[in-house]
Structures are given as structure tokens and as C-alpha cells.
Structure 1
Amino acid sequence: MYLPDIASVEILNPNIEAVELTGKYIILDVLARDGEGNCYNVEVQVRRYGAWHKRGLFYLTRTLGGQLSAGEDYEELRASVGLHLLDFDLFTETVAEREQAVWRFEMRDERQPKISLGNVLQMNLIELNKADRLGLPEGPLRAWITFFKHWQEELTMANVAHEPVKRAMSRIRELSADEETRRLAFVRERALRDEVSFLNDARREGEAHLLSKLAKMKFGELPEWAQQRLEQANSNQLDKWSDKILTANSLEELFKH
């Protein structure tokens, strides 16, 4: 695996305010350049949302298009490489997709994928959870994935020998000693947990509302006891009732268990 020598690194959003830590989709952007001038746009994403891939491609192409000034030769154009570290599983439809965690997309012909326009524009995706589960061959990439997924586990990290990862762990320990850094980390973690709870509640309420409408259409106005059962049910119970709504002959049968 080729590892370029990085010549410069720029944090594109260095001043994330404390109030922003409660936002839904904080994404850390890093722009790096190697000694040959190739650009690497690194993004760490903790939550999936609908247009994430379009956003990534948009900024990647801007990185490519912004390299040349007026009058410069296209031969001076260097590669623009996107690297997205995803803390969620993205490709899960087939067995082959579930068994691959590292992806590389380039400009290739549809019928003859061996024919490429080069790697001047390249998007790399690493599904961190999947990569951690599958286990990658020993090397720098596996060491970094272990770092991202297990940096809080001292025994696990003690077995990582890759020097850059060891330096990153040392830096994290320094930051962890800073009271303000710990406070902001706590605020962000609490916000993420609150959001997950809010989304689960919204999903449950939506299921209960839909099931209530279906029950009314089939059995008429719901008595108070049935409405209370719907309001107090958890997601698993609502799923079971949804499966029975078409076959149940009465409210008592529907809500029997």
C-alpha cells in the first residue's frame, strides 16, 4: 500500500464552537498535500444522511478545479483524492458488499473497467465499523482503523506498534488532560445520544399514529384502553401489532399480546 509523504495539512473547519457540537452532522474536514502537490480531502463522518456522497463529490471536484490559475498548463494538474471515514455501514445489500469495507472509486469505463482515465479524481471510502468487524491484514490501515474504533481501550491500543498511531494516542492523552476539551467532548457525546433517543421516539410515534389510523379504518373509533396501549407500546410491540392488523378480527385479538 502506497503511503505518500505529507508536506502540509490544513484543518478546514478548525473553529467548531461549543454550540455547534449539538448539531446533527458535524463533519471534520482536513486538506493535506504531499510532496508532489497531490491533494487529499479527508472527512470523518459519524452519521449518514441523504446527500453525503454528493457533498463529498462537490468538494472533491472543487479541490481539483481550484488547483490551476489562469494560463497554467493542464500538465500541472495533480490528483485530488477524497478519503471519507464513515462510522456507519454504507453498502449492505449483497454478501459481497457486506464483506468489503474499503472502496476506491475512479473514472472508469462501464463495460471495460480496466480502461481508466487515471486517478486524478479519486474517492476512497472506509466503513470503519465493517472494517473493524472483518479485520484487515496487518499494516498501517488496520492500525488506524483500530485507533478510530478503540482509542479508548488501553489494552487494545497497547498492542498497536504503528508509530504515527502511537503519536496520535499520545496527543489524545494530552488533550484529555485539558478540562475544557473534556467538557466539549461530553457536550458532543450527550448531543449524539439525545439525537438518537429523539429519532427513536419520533419513529415510535409515527408507527403508533399509522397503526391507530389503520385500526380505526378496520374497527371504528378506538376505545380509551386501546389508545393507551398504542401510546405506551415500544417499537417491538408496535411491529408485532402491525403484522397482525390485516388478520386480526377484533381489537382484543390485535392487542392480545
Structure 2
Amino acid sequence: MFEEKFFALTNDGMFHYVMQESQYALKMLTASLLSKQPDEITSVEVKNPYDYGKCAGSKDIILDVKAVVNKDTVVNIEVQVKAFKYWRYRSLYYAARMAAETDPNRDYGSLPIIRQFSILNYTFDRENPDFFSTYELRNVESEKSFTDRFQISIMDLTQNRLATWDDAIYGRTLWADLFKANSWEKLESLALKSEVAKEVVEIMYKAVKDDETARFLTDRELARKERISIREEGRMEGIAQGMKKGMEKGVDQGKKQLALRLINNGVDLALVKQTLGSDLPDDEFIESLRNN
């Protein structure tokens, strides 16, 4: 069994590396996302390649995959593991930027098709969840399409149970399994099922065997965890400050109800106790909140 450190395909560095190193994997993924058969993809080229040795140590690189498909379609594919508050706006910005970056001297009728794809590992739309959804410009009253040449699509990895027959036919369910795989063993089992999965796994092995690439992937993972830690510390600090303000106003009952609600929603119990100035055992502390 392979013993190298594991990096999931949701690691943005690993994802970009696989797509950059394997023309076959890139072709199969773009065909899947564009709802095309592989033989309909006559050409595909990554437009933002990276030198992973030179990139090691950088925390600011945005590793989406930009590619031109069949010379008439510009695609941008991003992977986002943690929920991002303004993801809708960010996707819109990237799609609009792709359109704006096309040659202004060209005839407008020959502008490329713009497709923005986001592969998310969190629930994107809690009210109307979907595995794969596509948005475009439409008339708000008649719902008639304004154009299908500017579209934003979401693959929500947390909703694979809602995948349709089309998702399976175009291979999106297989790609979801590859992105969600969290061990070499799971990837190996997928590699036995299809040629594209085998190719992806082989390229991922190649990445971790190369010292410079492995160091780059490690840096990306550490940078991601650091960003999460900073956000979490800020969130906790904000909660603590809010509770202290409540205490200063003497809102005793409301304060205790808030503390209980925070605990029920996963906020660290030690932080809540510290903010309220309690040294009671955990069970007694929670009981005191419930009884007052």
C-alpha cells in the first residue's frame, strides 16, 4: 500500500496539479461539467499553469483552473472546501472577469462561451439543495433565457444523494467520489472502476512523490488551516465580546439563554464558562443555565 502523505483532490494545489499534468483528466472533467461526451471535446488547454517549485511557500495564490475548450469556450473551475460567505458574488466576479478579459477587438458575435464552475464541499443552498445546478441570465417574469453563453454552475459534493441520471451519464457522480475520497485506499478502489479515475490517482501519486510538489501541497494545506484558525479565533473573540457587553448591561436571563444557545450550536464550552466567570463543573454549569 502506498505510504506517502495523503492530499485529497479538494486540496486546491492537488486539483490544479492533476488538471495541469493530465490532458486526459482535464478533458474528462470539462466534458463532465459541460454535459458533453468526451469525443465532443476536440481541444482543451490550461491557461494558468504553475511552476510548483517556485510557488512553494506562497499563501496567496488562487489555484482555480482556467482552460479553453474547443477554442470557443472559456471555463474556470474552482474547488472550495469551507463555506465562504460571499461565494455567489465571487463566482459572479470570476465569470464576468473572464468575459471582460476576452479580446475587445474581436467581433462581439465571436465572443467565447463563458462557464464558471464551483465544486463545493459544503451545502450551497439549504432551502433548495441540489447536486449539480446551473444558473444563467433570464427574464424575471417570463423566465425566457437572455443568453446561455454566460452560465455559473455549482457541484455540491454534500448533496450527491440528489444526483440525477444525467449526472451519472456525464460522469459527475464519479468525479464527486474522487473529490470526496479521503484516503489512498478509497482512491485505489475508484481507480479499479474507470480509466479516468486510474489516471487521476496515478497523477496524485506522482505529485506526492516529487519533493517540490509535495512541499507545495503541504504549504497549501497549512495555509488553508491557518486561514480557518484565524477566522475561528475572530469568531470566538466576537462571541466573547458580545457576551461581555451583555453582562455589562446586566441582562442576566438573556445572557444565560444566549450562553446555552451558543453551547448547543457548538461553541467551545470553556470559552463560554470563562466569559461568564464560572468555575462550576461542566455538567453543573450547563444545568444552571437550563434552570435559570
Q: TM-score, normalised by structure 2?
A: 0.64
Task: Report the Cα distance in structure 1 between the residues aligned to 2:147 and 2:71, rounded to whole angstroms.
Answer: 16
Q: Which of 171, 196, 205 in structure 1 is aligned with 2:228?
A: 196
Given candidates 103, 128, 131, the residue that maps to 2:157 is 128
**In the TM superposition, what are the counterparts of 1:111-122 in structure 2 within 5 Å?**
111-113=141-143, 115-122=144-151
The CA deviation string for residues 90-121 of structure 1, in whole angstroms up to 9 with x for no partner, is 211x2xx23x12110111111222x2123111
Is structure 2 residue 48 aligned with structure 1 residue 12? yes
Tell me: CA distance 1:118–1:173, structure 2 relative to 1, closer, same or farther (3 Å): same
CA distance in 2: counterparts of 1:59 and 1:155, whole angstroms: 33
Q: Is the counterpart of residue 86 in structure 1 residue 120 in structure 2?
A: yes
Change in 2 beyond 3 A, CA 1:121/1:182: same
> Secondary structure of the equivalent of 1:107?
strand
More helix as a share of residues: 2
Distance in 2 between residues matched to 1:212 and 1:68, nearest whole Å: 56
Aligned length: 226
Please tell me the residue identity of whatever aligns with 1:190. L
Q: Aligned in 2, Cα 1:49/1:7: closer, same or farther, shift over 3 Å? A: same
Give the direction of change, closer, same or farther, for the CA distance of 1:165–1:62 in structure 2 (3 Å limit): same
Which of 32-41 and 152-161 deviates more?
Answer: 152-161
1:95-110 equivalent positions in 2, closer than 5 A:
97-98=128-129, 100-110=130-140
Identify which of 66, 69, 72 aligns with 1:31: 66
Q: Is the 8 A contact 1:27 1:45 kept in 2?
A: no
Q: Does 1:58 pair with 2:93?
A: yes
**Structure 1's 47 and 236: CA in aligned 2 closer, same or farther, altered over 3 A?**
closer
| 3-state SS of paired residue (1:235) | coil
Alignment pair present for 1:46 and 2:84: no
CA distance in 2, matches of 1:206, 1:183: 34
Structure 2 partner of 1:164: 196
Consecutive unaligned residues in structure 1, runs of 5 or more: 221-232, 245-251
Q: SS state of the match for residue 49, structure 1?
A: coil
Go from structure 1 to structure 2 and tell me whether the alpha carbon gap of 1:213 and 1:162 turns closer, same or farther (over 3 Å shift): same
Aligned equivalent of 1:149: 180
* Counterpart for residue 109 of structure 2: 75
CA RMSD in angstroms comes to 3.5
Identity of aligned residues (%): 21
Secondary structure (helix, strand or coil) at the match of 1:106 reads strand
8 A contact 1:6–1:32 mirrored in 2: no
SS of residue paired to 1:20: coil
Shift of 1:193: 2.8
Q: 1:254 to 1:6 in 2, by over 3 A?
A: same
Code of the residue aligned with 1:196 in structure 2: it is: I
Paired with 1:41 and 1:155, the residues of 2 have a C-alpha distance of: 27
Return the alpha-carbon distance in structure 1 between the equivalents of residues 137 and 43 of structure 2. 26
Give the TM-score normalised by the residue count of structure 1: 0.71
Q: Is the 8 A contact 1:29 1:44 kept in 2?
A: yes
How far 1:61 moved relative to its partner?
2.5
1:173 Cα deviation after fit? 0.7
Contact 2:74 2:113 survives alignment (8 Å): yes
Query: 1:230 matched to which residue of 2?
Result: none
The change in CA–CA distance for 1:110 and 1:178 in structure 2 (over 3 A counts) is same
